[in-house]
Structure 1
Amino acid sequence: MDRFWTLMSFLHSLAGPLIMLLYPLYASVMAIESTSKVDDEQWLAYWILYSFLSLMEMLFQPILEWIPIWYDVKLALVVWLVMPQFRGAAFIYERFVREKIRKYGRLGGGGTTTGHHHKSSSPNVNLKNKFVDFMAHKKGEHEDS
């Protein structure tokens, strides 16, 4: 019986990297090679959400260490994000992330063009736009201010 639990423990610890990294890496490459835009959106949304989840996990690690089932909850969430039947990553992105970007940022037709600053009610958006404009300038171009 001890060997069974050892095997189960090994499979459990192996499931995370397989589900969270290996399969999404493979699926992302396949999405890039396909002509469909739907799978591209799913996997780009997955990597955005996985990065955010990893960052939050790093920030809240002292708290999460006290939650014994955290790894299992995270694994279940990532399974939902990854499974093509659910398209969870695309759903979360469409439902929540895109809404926040539209509300606080600029999305769809309101993009930044190099050298042009648009008025915005949010100072964070202006700062972001200035950074994007700064990064977009080519060598030798100087901003007239």
Structure 2
Amino acid sequence: MNRLWTLLTYLHSLAGPGVMLLYPLYASVVAIESASKVDDEQWLAYWILYSFLTLMEMLLLPLLEWIPIWYDLKLAFVAWLVLPQFRGAAFIYEKFVREKVIYKYGGAHKSPKSKNKFVDFVATNKVSMCVFVVNFFSN
């Protein structure tokens, strides 16, 4: 029974890198080589969300250490983002980034002609974003 438990623990520890990094890396390369834009959007959205999740995990590590099943919850969430049956990353991008109005640091930017508000926000407010990031991390 100890060997079975050791094997399960080992497989569990390999599941994270496999689901969170190896498969998405492979799928991203396949998406770049394909002619379809749909898979490109899925994998770009995945890498944005994965980076954000990793950053938040680093910032909130003292709190997350108190949640014993955090790694399992993260693994399940990332599996939902990654699996092509769900396309979770593209879903979150569509619902929460593309459709919402993005407020810039110090005011609101609304472009009535543009469909992609996030790109407009970042492209027109680079200085404000830099000031925000420097102020955020200097405290």
TM-score, normalised via structure 2 length? 0.77
Larger Rg: 1
Q: Following the alignment from structure 2 to structure 1, what is the Cα–Cα distance between the partners of residues 16 and 77?
A: 11
Corresponding position: 1:67 with 2:67: yes
Amino acid at match of 1:50: Y
Q: Following the alignment from structure 1 to structure 2, what is the Cα–Cα distance between the partners of residues 131 and 78?
A: 31
Q: Is the 8 A contact 2:98 2:116 kept in 1?
A: no
> For residue 51 of structure 2, what is the aligned residue in structure 1?
51
> For residue 4 of structure 1, what is the aligned residue in structure 2?
4
Query: Pairwise mapping of residues 118-137 of structure 1 onto structure 2 (< 5 A)?
Result: 128-130=125-127
Amino acid at match of 1:10: Y
Alignment: residue pair count: 120
Q: Pick closer, same or farther for the CA change 1:86–1:125 going to 2, 3 Å.
A: closer
> For residue 120 of structure 1, what is the aligned residue in structure 2?
none
Deviation at 1:26, TM superposition (A): 0.2
Deviation at 1:98, TM superposition (A): 1.8
Corresponding position: 1:108 with 2:115: yes
Q: Following the alignment from structure 1 to structure 2, what is the Cα–Cα distance between the partners of residues 70 and 29?
A: 29
User: Identity percentage over the alignment?
Assistant: 70
> For residue 80 of structure 2, what is the aligned residue in structure 1?
80
**Structure 1, unaligned runs of 5 or more:** 113-123, 133-145
